[in-house]
Every structure is written in C-alpha cells, then in structure tokens.
C-alpha cells in the first residue's frame, strides 16, 4: 500500500508525471509537505511556429499573460524552441509527439499567431475555453474572430498593408484583447560564452550583411558595405561583420578587402552572444534585427519592402529607407526593371545615423 506522504499534486508548476520534479531531485521533498508547491489553475498555449525573428518579437505577450493570469501555466509551440524564454513552463517543438499531447490537453486559452495552414488546423482542433488569432475554414487560414480580422486582412491585401499604422506588437496585443503598452522583447543570452574582440575600447558596430536566402530584394550592395566600413574605420569605430552560412563567403571577402573584423558564422545561441558584444547593429529586416532589439542594442534598420510602422525599435534605433521609392512591396525578389532601390541607401547617410545614435571620439 502506498504511504500517505506519497500523494501527488498534479496541479503544481513543477509536477511532470513522467519523471521526478526538480524540487524532489534537488531537495528530497515530496508533495505532501512540499514548500515549493505552486498551484496552477489552467494552461494558456501560444502557437508561433514561424521564423526565429517572429518568435522573438512575439515574446512581449508573456508580460501581459503573467500579469493577467499569474496562476496559469504557459505553453509555447514553435519550430525554434531555443529563443523561447525560460519563463515559459513548457516549450514544445512542432512534432507529431507534441501535437498528440496538445490534442489531449484542455486549455484555457489558445493564442495562434501563425497563418500557416498547419498551425491553423491544429488551433482549430484543440479544446480551449477561448481561442484567439487564426483558425482554419474550408482548408484555408481564417480569422478566429473580429479582433483578428485587421491583422488577417493586412496580410492578404497590399493596399491595406501599406495604409497600416499599427506595429506588429500592437496588432498581436489587440488580437488577444489587450492594449499594447510598449512591452519589450524577452531574449536570453548565454553569458558563459567568452569573446576576445580586439576593439581597444572602440565602439563595436555590427554589420549584418545578409537578409536570408529568400528575400534578396532587401540586400544592400557589397560596394556600399565596403564604403561604410571605410568610414567607420576612419572615424575610430570597430566594424564587426555578422551573418550566417549564406553570408560566409561574402563576409570573408569583405574582411579581406576592408580590414573589418570577422569571426565566422555560429549556431544560434553563440550568434546571439556575438550580437550582444555590439554597441550598435546595422541590418535589414532579418533575424539579426530582432536579436539586436531583444538585446536592447542600438539599431540602424534598412527597410524597403515592408511597412515601416510594423517595427518597434523602442527609441534605440532609426529606420533608413531608399531615396528612390521601392516599387516591389513585400516581394522577395526585386521586380523593378528601372532601378534597384537599395542602391539608393547611401553609406554616407548610414554613417551619419550611426554617429547620431552612437557618438564617439577617441580624443
């Protein structure tokens, strides 16, 4: 017969069910007399699968969820669990095993912020008292309710998207029925990683030279990077080249040609740590942008194909757009046969904005 002291409390924040909980392993306590017991009343699920930057810029919702529902467990389904904050109780990869678990769980709220058909199908299939965001109707993504309609329509009609003056964060807060109050990103960094960057006290300016393989319409020409690096070095800034595997050859070439510092490309957590070494980051709309914002870095953002109102830089950055208008709104490849608009973001203007955001003189 099981002794009375071995009762269990399945509503505890730390209870797992498949293995011993952390307080039991660390301190030997059992549920009957555990001082670490934190009851949770229900579960709120966030579904945000998408790109790494999109996952990072969805994290401000966590502040309000914890404020409004302090006794709720928070679960998050994603393709990039590495960037989901540790305050989330259960981070699930988008796998069959996770889907089976979710379909057999009763939720208080399901917040699906992805219009991915698979995410919408899953959200529709789940049991929840309240659902927000996007669902599936007749095999196609659809808004779950009136609050989701604005975000849904701006994603399918370019004229509405161009007219939009709401940031992404304001939109997702409104989807859940909340007012956005400038809640910032939550991004954790591994402080155990050590770097030996020979900047000799000079401000480190991270130059993120790529924009992902798909969105080549956002690429700033290499000769402009060369000119900007020259201006930075002449004025005692320390240019640090950033990028992934797709930018490796380009960055090697730029480093050899200009003397800019380049350490290579790294796994995600190490890349986040490297960006954290920068005082300012120059980038187009990429994962690196959202990492820099999450790390509270100063940012010079190149934007051409997106609505500038979409972005929250929290007073630490500036958006620079081409002096000739972009004619291929939200297009991954440039369709303008007359000119390439990114040629009309000039290095001298970029450098002036860097100086404004990050004044420096060695004298």
Provide the pLDDT for residue 1: 46
* 187 belongs to a structural domain: no
Residue 121 has pLDDT above 70, yes or no: yes
User: What CATH number is attached to the domain comprising 329?
Assistant: 3.40.50.2000
Model confidence pLDDT, tens digit, residues 46-94: 999 978 999 999 999 999 999 999 999 999 999 999 999 999 999 999 9
Report if pTM > 0.85. Answer: yes
Residues 146, 256, single domain; the answer is no
Kindly indicate the confidence band of residue 349, based on its pLDDT and cuts at 50, 70 and 90: very high
Between 184 and 13, the higher pLDDT residue? 184
Residues 123 and 261 in one domain: no
209, 79: one domain:
no
Same structural domain, 209 and 102: no
Domain membership of residue 339 as a residue range: 204-357
Residues 146 and 218 in one domain: no
Q: How many domains does the chain have?
A: 2
CA atoms within 13 A on the CB side of 145: 12
Give residue 331's pLDDT: 87
Claim to verify: residue 280 and residue 224 sit in the same structural domain: yes
Backbone phi, psi, residue 359, to 5°? -60, 140
Percent of all residues in the chain with a pLDDT value above 70, rounded to a whole number: 98
Q: How confident is the model at residue 4 (pLDDT cuts 50, 70, 90)?
A: low
Same domain, 225 and 161: no
Average pLDDT, the chain: 94
Cα gap 222→269, rounded to integer Å: 27
* The pLDDT of residue 183 is above 90: yes
Average pLDDT over residues 233-259: 97
**Mean pLDDT, range 124-132, rounded to an integer:** 98
Q: Where a domain ends, among 175, 196, 226?
A: 175
Q: Is the dihedral of CA 222, 223, 226, 231 positive or negative?
A: negative
Q: Are strands 298-302 and 72-78 parallel, antiparallel or unpaired?
A: unpaired
Residue 83 inside a domain? The answer is: yes
Count of C-beta atoms within a 10 Å radius of residue 353: 18
CATH number of the domain encompassing residue 95: 3.40.50
Instruction: Please check whether residues 169 and 267 belong to one and the same domain.
Output: no
Q: Are residues 168 and 219 in the same domain?
A: no
181 lies in a domain? no
User: 259: which residues sit within 8 A by CB, 6+ positions away?
Assistant: 229, 233
Q: How big is the CA angle at 213 (ends 267 and 168), to the nearest 5 degrees?
A: 85
Residues 169 and 218 in one domain: no
């Amino acid at each position: 017969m099981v002794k009375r002291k071995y009762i269990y409390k399945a509503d505890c924040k730390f209870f797992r069910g498949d293995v011993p909980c952390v307080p039991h392993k660390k301190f030997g306590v059992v549920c009957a007399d555990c001082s670490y017991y934190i009851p949770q009343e229900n579960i709120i699920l966030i579904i945000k699968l998408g790109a790494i930057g999109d996952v990072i810029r969805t994290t401000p919702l966590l502040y309000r969820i914890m404020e409004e529902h302090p006794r709720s467990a928070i679960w998050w389904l994603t393709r990039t669990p590495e960037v989901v904050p540790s305050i989330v109780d259960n981070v699930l990869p988008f796998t069959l095993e996770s889907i089976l678990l979710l379909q057999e769980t009763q939720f208080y709220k399901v917040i699906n912020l992805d219009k991915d058909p698979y995410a919408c199908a899953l959200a529709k299939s789940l049991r929840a008292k309240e659902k927000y965001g996007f669902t599936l109707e007749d095999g196609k993504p659809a808004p779950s309710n009136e609050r989701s309609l604005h975000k849904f329509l701006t994603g399918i009609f370019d004229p509405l998207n161009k007219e939009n003056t709401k940031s992404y964060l304001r939109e997702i807060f409104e989807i859940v029925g909340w007012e956005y109050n400038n809640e910032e990103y939550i991004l954790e960094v591994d402080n155990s990683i050590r770097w030996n960057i020979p900047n000799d006290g000079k401000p480190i300016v991270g130059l993120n030279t790529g924009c992902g393989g798909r969105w080549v319409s956002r690429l700033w020409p290499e000769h402009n990077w060369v000119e900007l690096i020259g201006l930075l070095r002449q004025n005692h800034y320390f240019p640090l080249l950033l990028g992934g595997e797709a930018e490796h050859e380009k960055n090697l070439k730029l480093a050899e040609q200009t003397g800019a510092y380049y350490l290579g490309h790294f796994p995600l957590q190490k890349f986040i740590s490297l960006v954290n070494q920068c005082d300012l980051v120059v980038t187009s709309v990429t994962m690196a942008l959202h990492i820099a914002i999450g790390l509270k870095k100063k940012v010079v953002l190149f934007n051409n194909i997106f609505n500038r109102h979409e972005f929250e830089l929290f007073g630490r950055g500036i958006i620079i757009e081409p002096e000739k208008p972009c004619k291929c709104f939200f297009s991954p490849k440039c369709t303008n046969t007359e000119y390439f608009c990114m040629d009309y973001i000039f290095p001298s203007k970029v450098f002036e904005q860097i100086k404004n955001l990050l004044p420096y003189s060695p004298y």
